[in-house]
Amino acid sequence: MNLRAQLRKALWKKATNVDFFSQQLYTHIVLQAIFNLYYLRKRYRNVLNLSFENEHIKSLGNYRYIYFVLLCTMKFESVTIKDIAQQLNLSTSTVSRALRGSYEISDETKNLVLEYAKKINYRPNPIALSLKERRSHTIGIVVPEIANSFFSQAINGMESIAYKSGYHVSISQSHESFERELSNVEHMAYRSVDGLLISVSAETSDFTHLQALHDRGLPIVFFDRIVDQIDTYKVVCDNFKGAYDATTHLIAQGFKNIAHISSAEHLFITRKRLEGYKKALEDHKIPFRQELVRFCNHGGMATEEVEQAVASLFNEKKKPDAILSAGDRITTVMLATIKKQKKVNKKLAYIGFSNSDLTDMFSPSLSVVRQPAFEIGQTAMELLIKMIESKRPITQFETKIMESKIIIKESSEG
């Protein structure tokens, strides 16, 4: 038995009220402690003062520093079923069955094992469990940007369902980059996540990386920026109605030259919002003008892209008197740009898709189309877990469409 194993055994004995120092280890312990004590004592003074209220550690007296140094310098090794079996004089198979609540084990033995496991804070090895069950109990989430209010709220909804169901989440950001999205998805698949929730990046127009994983059986649910080509569950808000209602509101306020700034043209949500905008104009006998529409291929992540879109709108002969912006990031950058634009009409009205809680702090306060991001996240996670835990492959899917709502403030008043 090497020194590390001997130290571990000695510490284990102390935890179970057996003599802590054996004569054989005393010299090794003192030498290692002296070597480390000078460097660690000042650094960990507060920890030492706080961490030695335990009666067993108190009983060590001046040796408590040596004990602490050992804990700091030893490699962490978690308690195993084998350790429990040795301490209780049971077989590892009996302990394993008792921890699982097997009917083959008596109540007396189960209680003995469970009480002892709780006493020593035993936790099952997640790697061993994943190998045995062929499940990692981890769900991958890929979003364009966590700082985006919509996506942060959606993630909160996802986590609320995941943890209740015994899953952890692994979150990554594409930052509106196809290459980064591809790398993130491949990494999560390599790490054997049980399923994937994804809102694709503004750059993503090739979905073969996602189709390949779907074909191999990885459960995937799309939310917000969904992919038509892949047959699976999808969760979105009613983008058509949100844009339609926002445009109709601007028209009702007396605005006729309404511009529209949106994300990458190929995205599903961009198409739906554009359709809603055009339909509202059509229903109110206002001609659609292509020159009043701008697309931002990086979803607002490239500030200069939005700035150029706004500037170009006000270089038109017939300038807009109102703007509908279709995205959190685009809306924020658009407002900052408008403040700096000298050519902008002071009576310009605007309304944007945004889930930010700070819209009242703008001057004027911002009218918004607010999406049920938290509920979208919850629903997407529930559908994914349904796919993961289904005993048979699911072949019939649906797209869940959730209602958005318009919150009218000062920025869209006529």
Nearest 5°: the CA angle 6, 7, 10 is 85
Residues 6 or more apart whose CB falls under 8 angstroms from that of 274 comprise 243, 260, 262, 293
Calpha distance 263→301 (Å, rounded): 10
55 vs 384: which has the higher pLDDT: 384
> Whose CA is closest to 154, among 88, 243, 222?
222
Between the ranges 44-58, 84-98, 205-219, where is the mean pLDDT highest? 205-219
Lowest mean pLDDT segment, chosen from 38-42, 125-129, 192-196: 38-42
The reply to whether 239-371+406-412 shares the fold of 81-124 is no
The pLDDT of 248-274, averaged and rounded, is: 96
**For residue range 44-73, what is the model confidence (pLDDT) as tens digits?**
444 444 344 444 444 545 454 455 545 544
What is the secondary structure of 123-138 as a DSSP string? Answer: ---HHHHHHHHT---E
3-state secondary structure of 406: strand
Domain boundaries, given as residue ranges, for the chain? 3-73, 81-124, 133-237+375-404, 239-371+406-412
The mean of the pLDDT values for the chain is 82
Lowest mean pLDDT segment, chosen from 125-134, 155-164, 243-252, 292-301: 125-134
- Rounded to 5 degrees, φ, ψ at 21 are -100, 125
What is the secondary structure of 321-342 as a DSSP string? Answer: SEEEE-SHHHHHHHHHHHHH-T
User: Domain 239-371+406-412 adopts which CATH fold?
Assistant: Rossmann fold (3.40.50)
CATH number assigned to the domain covering 133-237+375-404: 3.40.50.2300
Residue with tokens 């033995």: 109
What global pTM score does this model have?
A: 0.70
Q: How far is CA 86 from the centre of its chain?
A: 41
- The beta strands (E) that lie in 90-226 are given as 138-143, 168-173, 195-198, 220-223
User: Domain 81-124 adopts which CATH fold?
Assistant: 434 Repressor (Amino-terminal Domain) (1.10.260)
pLDDT given for residue 128 in this prediction:
55
